[in-house]
Structure 1
Amino acid sequence: MIIEQLPTFLASSSAVTLSSAPACAFVGLCGRLAAPASLLVSAAPLPTMSKIKSDNDVGDLPLLPYSCMACNCILWTSYGALRHAPSIWMPNGMSFLLALYYMHSFILVVDNANKSSTSIDGDRSFGLQIGAVGGIIGAAGLAFHYDCSEAVGSAAVLLCMALFASPLSTLKTVVESKSAESIPLPFTIASLLACFFWSVTGFVELHDMNVILPNFIGFLFGLAQLGLKLYFHDEVETDDLLSSSKMDLDVPHLTNDLCVTTKG
């Protein structure tokens, strides 16, 4: 795997020498599980999409989480390809295709219903989201032409950081309401594991701060969510957790804050 040399202070801070076989085996296991864990998280909205198509109605579901997912995945796919890191671009490329499927299914149902969905803040908001995805895809194409991997990596990190505003909002709501019903346990565990695997892989194997930073912060948020879920331990059915539209992509309150996603 070919990875561009990072600045000395970053490389020295992330380089780790493994002196034992168990440690090497553990890191290797994390590297092998990182991609499947990411795909598991990306596949979380599939039950929701199935329900949308069977009901032929999007109800109160927002398009925004899926457009954010598409933007995020295309940036990481481009970054991984520019860094010649298949462990990054392959799972994100597949997740990008899933995001396009989610968007297509959502839009198709809205068109078939021939009515405006209450989950879309007008045609302008809907068009802005589609345009944002198209614009980022175009920008990713230019990045390949000019080989500017660092710019793409920075944009991907910024997008992840902006999306963290949503879990932070969720944590505040849970503490204030003393109810963790809005936190789906299966999805939280899957996200927690994915962030952990990528943090270890980025720190020990890839030595890439663009991979380490967002995943480590995501891991901390995941721990906080899991802790609150266990502390309040609401009785919530597993099916409801898996199909919860509010927690798809871990962006429950992003619907009413379009400006959060315009950062990349």
Structure 2
Amino acid sequence: MAIFATHNIGVLIFGLLGNITSFVVFLAPVPTFLRVFRKKSTEGFQSVPYLVALFSGMMWLYYASLKTDETLLITINSFGCVIETIYIAIYITYAPKQARDTTTVELWGFCLILLLSHFLTKGPNRIKVLGWLNVSIAVSVFAAPLSIIRVVIRTKSVEFMPFPLSFFLTLSAVMWLFYGIFLKDIYVALPNILGFIFGVLQMILYVVFKNSKTVIEEQKLPEHKAAQVDEKLSSTGVTAEVQIICATEEAASNIDENGTVHHNSHGHVTNHHHEKSMEDCLKIEGPPALICEV
């Protein structure tokens, strides 16, 4: 087979491992879109993470097709383009009109950039332009979790940052980093150094705060502030489910794993489960993070 034609065993091993880990990462949003399909609603999710992932996949696919011995980049990014197209199609089907129109415009914008990179460059210069464009895209995506890292540090809650996804993103970055090193391709290796650093940082924060349970009084987080947090989470594409608890410090000790204890104005205790409305417990949700793999 062509993918085994390489004489560098390191390229083969890390390329195959990179394909496996990236495959897992690309499938991470499946539960989100199954929920969208069942509810016939995008629930305020943003399409940007999936558009960027599709754009990144197309750019890496084009870059790899211009080079030799890049078959393993072609395989994973071909799959990535297909799965991201499916995600975006589902999103456009069930999104509100304004979000649907915005997504369509952004999609055509990314396609225009791809076409310009083809028609405005030639020969070896085209590979360099595509390479640095891919580095820029990957760096911006890997840097996106910085906003979530700030939220985790501020709230001391890792509900914003699921460990399995952080682990696979870090593992994937390591595989592609060594793939780029063995292949002597700086455009592949360089952004994954940053991906590895941010991935390790996320896992360290998870270990530090995994046993913390932060209680936030409702009056300290007005509705417009909650909306800002919701927008920040959605823009980075990270799964989050946060209960903003309307409880006093004294009541916090009565919170169990099944529900959230509330005090009303008369001092009575009311137990609200997670299925209750947003008027009782503010629930912030966003789609799973998706890092564009190379």
Q: Structure 1 stretch 99-108 or stretch 139-148: which is displaced more? A: 139-148
**In structure 2, what is the equivalent of residue 229 of structure 1?**
206
TM-score normalised by the chain length of structure 2 = 0.66
How far apart are the structure 1 equivalents of 2:291 and 2:12? 27
**In structure 1, what is the equivalent of residue 72 of structure 2?**
87
1:130 is the counterpart of 2:107? yes
1:248 is the counterpart of 2:289? yes
How far apart are the structure 2 equivalents of 1:70 and 1:140? 16
**In structure 2, what is the equivalent of residue 107 of structure 1?**
92
Q: Structure 1 stretch 136-145 or stretch 43-52: which is displaced more? A: 136-145
1:183 is the counterpart of 2:167? no
Per the TM alignment, residue 185 of structure 1 is displaced from its structure 2 partner at its CA by 1.2
Amino acid of the structure 1 residue aligned with 2:161: I
**In structure 2, what is the equivalent of residue 71 of structure 1?**
55
* Inter-CA distance 167–233: structure 2 relative to 1 (3 Å threshold): same
Is 2:47–2:91's contact at 8 Å kept on the other side of the alignment? yes
* Inter-CA distance 145–250: structure 2 relative to 1 (3 Å threshold): closer
- Give RMSD over aligned pairs: 3.0
1:34 is the counterpart of 2:18? yes
Q: What does the per-residue CA deviation read over 1:68-118, in whole Å, with 9 as the maximum and x for residues that have no partner?
A: 1111111111111111211112201210111111111111123xxxx446x
How far apart are the structure 1 equivalents of 2:117 and 2:19? 21
Amino acid of the structure 2 residue aligned with 1:99: E
Is 1:74–1:92's contact at 8 Å kept on the other side of the alignment? yes
Q: How does 1:203-222 map to 2 (within 5 A)?
A: 203=181, 205-222=182-199
Per the TM alignment, residue 132 of structure 1 is displaced from its structure 2 partner at its CA by 2.0
How far apart are the structure 2 equivalents of 1:161 and 1:231? 26
* Inter-CA distance 246–57: structure 2 relative to 1 (3 Å threshold): closer
TM-score normalised by the chain length of structure 1 = 0.73
1:202 to 165, 180, 190: 180
Structure with a larger share of its residues in helix: 1
**SS at the partner of 2:160?**
coil
* Inter-CA distance 60–241: structure 2 relative to 1 (3 Å threshold): closer
Q: What does the per-residue CA deviation read over 1:108-141, in whole Å, with 9 as the maximum and x for residues that have no partner?
A: 123xxxx446xx3x84x33431222321342465
How far apart are the structure 1 equivalents of 2:60 and 2:210? 35
How far apart are the structure 2 equivalents of 1:43 and 1:195? 16
* Inter-CA distance 196–231: structure 2 relative to 1 (3 Å threshold): same
Per the TM alignment, residue 143 of structure 1 is displaced from its structure 2 partner at its CA by 7.4
- Specify the structure having the higher radius of gyration (Cα): 2
Higher RCO structure, 1 or 2 (CA under 8 Å, sep 6+): 1
Structure 1 residues not aligned, in runs of 5+ = 2-23, 252-264
Structure 2 residues not aligned, in runs of 5+ = 3-7, 214-237, 242-284
